[in-house]
Structure 1
Amino acid sequence: MDTIINIIQAMAREMVAPTTAAVAIAVIGLNVHFGFTGLLNMGQAGFMLLGAYGFAISIVRGVPLPVAVLIGFGAALVFALILGAPTLKLRGDYLAIVTISAAEIVRFTGRLSVLTDFTGAAQGIPGSEYRDPFTALSFFGAGSTDIGFLDYSNTGVNGWWVRFVAWTLVAICAFVVYLLTRSPWGRLLRGIREDEDAIRSLGKNVFAIKMQALIIGGMLGALGGMVYVLPGSVQADALGRSMTFFCYTALLIGGAATVFGPILGSIIFYTARIFVKSVANAYVPDSIMSSSETESFSYIVVGVILMLVVIFRPQGILGNKRELQFNA
Structure 2
Amino acid sequence: MYFIELLRALSAEALAPTTAAFAIAAIGLNIHFGFTGLINMGQAAFLLLGAYGFAISISNGLPLGLAVIIALVCSLVFALILGVPTLKLRGDYLAIVTICSAEIIRYVGRSSVLTSTTGGSNGIPGASYREAFTALSPLPDGQTTILWFSYENNGVNGWWIRIVGWSIVALLCLLVFLLSRSPWGRVLKGIREDEDAVRSLGKNVYSYKMQALVLGALMGSLAGIIYVLPSSVQPDSMGRSMTFFIWTALLLGGAATVFGPVLGAILFFVTRLLVRTLAGDFIPSSIMNGQQAEQFSYVLVGIALMLLIIFRPQGILGKKKELAFSV
> What is the TM-score with the length of structure 1 in the denominator?
0.99
Q: How far is 1:12 from its partner? A: 1.1
User: Residues of 1 paired with 2:79 and 2:177: CA distance?
Assistant: 22
| Other-structure match for 1:185 | 184
SS of the residue 2:154 aligns to: coil
Whether 1:237 aligns to 2:220 is no
Aligned CA-pair RMSD: 0.6
Cα deviation, residue 98, structure 1: 0.2
CA distance in 2, matches of 1:144, 1:270: 25
**Cα deviation per residue 1:89-131 (whole Å; 9 max; x = unaligned)?**
0000000000000000000000011111111001010000000
Measured after TM superposition, the shift of residue 10 of structure 1 is 1.7
1:208 aligns to what?
207
Structure 2 equivalent of residue 299 of structure 1: 298
What amino acid does structure 1 have at the position aligned with 2:162? R
- Secondary structure of the residue aligned to 1:145 is strand
DSSP-derived class of the 1:39 partner? coil
Residue 317 (1) aligns with residue 316 (2): yes
Are 1:141 and 2:159 counterparts?
no
Please tell me whether the aligned partners of residues 22 and 166 of structure 1 are also in contact (alpha carbons under 8 angstroms).
yes
Question: Which residue number corresponds to residue 64 of structure 1?
Answer: 63
What is aligned with 1:220? 219
| Alignment partners' CA distance in 2, 1:326 and 1:154 | 45
**Cross-structure match for 1:77:** 76
Residues 128-167 of structure 1 mapped to structure 2, 5 A cutoff: 128-167=127-166
Paired amino acid for 1:258? T
Give me the whole-angstrom Cα distance separating, in 2, the residues matched to 1:308 and 1:17. 27
Partner of 1:262: 261
Shift of 1:175: 0.6
- Aligned-residue offset at 1:5: 2.5
Q: How far does residue 42 in structure 1 lie from its aligned partner after superposition?
A: 0.2
Q: Which residue is equivalent to 1:102?
A: 101
Q: Deviations over 1:243-302 (max 9, x none)?
A: 000000000000000000000000000000000000001100001100111000000011
2:6 maps to: 7
Give the distance between the partners of 1:215 and 1:110, measured in 2 at CA.
21
Separation in structure 2 between the aligned mates of residue 292 and residue 87 of structure 1, nearest angstrom: 39
Aligned to 2:193: 194
TM superposition shift of 1:11: 0.9
When the two structures are superposed, what TM-score results if normalisation uses the length of structure 2?
0.99
Give secondary structure in 1 for the equivalent of 2:150.
strand
Letter aligned with residue 323 of structure 1: E
State the Cα distance separating 1:148 from its structure 2 match: 2.0
Distance across 2 between alignment mates of 1:150 and 1:163: 12
Residue 51 of structure 1 aligns with which residue? 50
Kindly indicate whether the alpha-carbon contact (under 8 Å) linking 1:7 and 1:279 is maintained by their aligned counterparts in 2. no
Give the secondary structure class of the aligned counterpart of 2:308: helix
- Aligned equivalents of 2:127, 2:177: Cα separation in 1: 35
Distance in 2, matches of 1:236 and 1:151, equals 31
Q: Is the 8 A contact 1:88 1:211 kept in 2?
A: yes
The alpha-carbon deviation at position 6 of structure 1 amounts to: 2.7
Secondary structure at the counterpart of residue 138 of structure 1: coil
Counterpart Cα distance in 2 of 1:274 and 1:168 = 24
Task: Letter of the 1:21 partner, please give it.
Answer: A
Amino acid in the other structure paired with 1:316 = G
1:287 equivalenced with 2:282 (yes/no): no
Q: Any unmatched runs of 5+ in structure 1?
A: none
Preserved CA contact (<8 Å) 1:127 1:231: yes
Cα offset for 1:149?
Answer: 1.9
SS across alignment from 1:178:
helix
Write the distance in 2 (CA, Å) between the matches of 1:139 and 1:199: 48
Match of 2:325 in 1: 326
Q: Distance in 2 between matches of 1:5 and 1:124?
A: 38
Q: Which residue of 1 aligns with 2:40?
A: 41
Gaps of 5+ in 2: none
Which residue is equivalent to 1:252?
251
Query: Percent identity among equivalent residues?
Result: 62
